[in-house]
Structure 1
């Protein structure tokens, strides 16, 4: 999140970010996407509103109170209506209701944030980490080859290249006891190019 905020410092979620906030040391949730499927059953007016990024004017999601509270922490972009955008564009294609969609995403995020991957990033705040280190952390946390199913994104910030996100590939799994097994989901995904080969783990509050 701090890396994202280097370029989006005026958004509500970034103006309120502090070094003590959970998103300063842990991964935040961007979304849970089904490849090549968007805006399933969404009427044209709402699609247009979403594309204009007029997210806070879109209908508020009806979520259970515990999901709503957890999501506001895990996805700081809720302050900008980002949860509504993610649901309208991607969640509507998930085959789930909003509570289940975000509940599942929150469980996966919690697993990543309790793993060697989060430890690697937290231990290197302000420093540079490289592709092989990230892949090794994923392999340790989720099994051999997991790191080959991850893509890292970076953005230029002056003379630095800061890390702005990780995309984790997930395979199609049924609900026969493994649908929430993150290691199994990652193993079922195809391999991908890693993307940004090294970047700075940005610290909060240094825009």
Structure 2
């Protein structure tokens, strides 16, 4: 029979959880503040969805990319002219939702993300983007989006964002999140978040279970401005 000290030692020696996927979302007004010439930024207005909600950037398997992608297509993708890449086959309603939830589709971001990351997850482009839309709905229905939407034009801090994640997705969820910021004049504007996930993403699990199974990470940017739509 294993003694209590031995049990304690076994628990102590258990390897820490590892992050298997990264869910990347953008705060589009901040993204566009730093990249005003992008197609998806030219028409951004205060009443557009991405002015007050998180937008999709991608779902990335850790340390895997371009699975089974032909060398010539991969080379075309890396040139950055993503609208020249093959169009993706998906249900009409999914494609329509993606146009709103992922403004970068105007620059071919969906095609790039599928080739680089979606091809490594099994399934179809329809499966890949339907899953991301599900996760985005969860995030935009959470205390995290409420915090950001309520503080447009103001700063939010690392501790506030972590608390919002913990409130919505469970204690410790905020330790699996990293924030991206970029200088815009004298301000540090938030351009997005990356959220660690682990588990079978295709099994229908909710964000809470997947986030809490991931490894912890550094938050990086400890505070930033929740930018408003339009170049400041």
Structure-2-length-normalised TM-score: 0.86
Poorly superposed stretches of 4+, deviation over 6 Å: none
Q: Secondary structure at the match of 1:29?
A: strand
Match of 1:131 among 158, 170, 183: 158
Highest RCO, 1 vs 2 (Cα 8 Å, sep ≥ 6): 2
Higher share in strand: 2
Which sections of structure 2, spanning at least 5 residues, go unmatched?
Answer: 1-27
1:53 aligns with 2:61: no
C-alpha displacement of 1:206:
2.5
Task: State the alpha-carbon separation in 2 of the partners of residues 88 and 101 from structure 1.
Answer: 11
Structure 1 equivalent of residue 207 of structure 2: 182
Task: State the alpha-carbon separation in 2 of the partners of residues 119 and 151 from structure 1.
Answer: 18
Between the two proteins, the alignment pairs up a number of residues equal to: 205
C-alpha displacement of 1:14:
0.1
Match of 1:63 among 80, 90, 93: 90
Question: Rg: which structure is higher?
Answer: 2
Which sections of structure 1, spanning at least 5 residues, go unmatched?
Answer: none
Task: State the alpha-carbon separation in 2 of the partners of residues 158 and 96 from structure 1.
Answer: 43
Cα 1:174–1:126 change in 2 (3 A) is: closer
Task: State the alpha-carbon separation in 2 of the partners of residues 173 and 148 from structure 1.
Answer: 20
Match of 2:49 among 22, 31, 41: 22
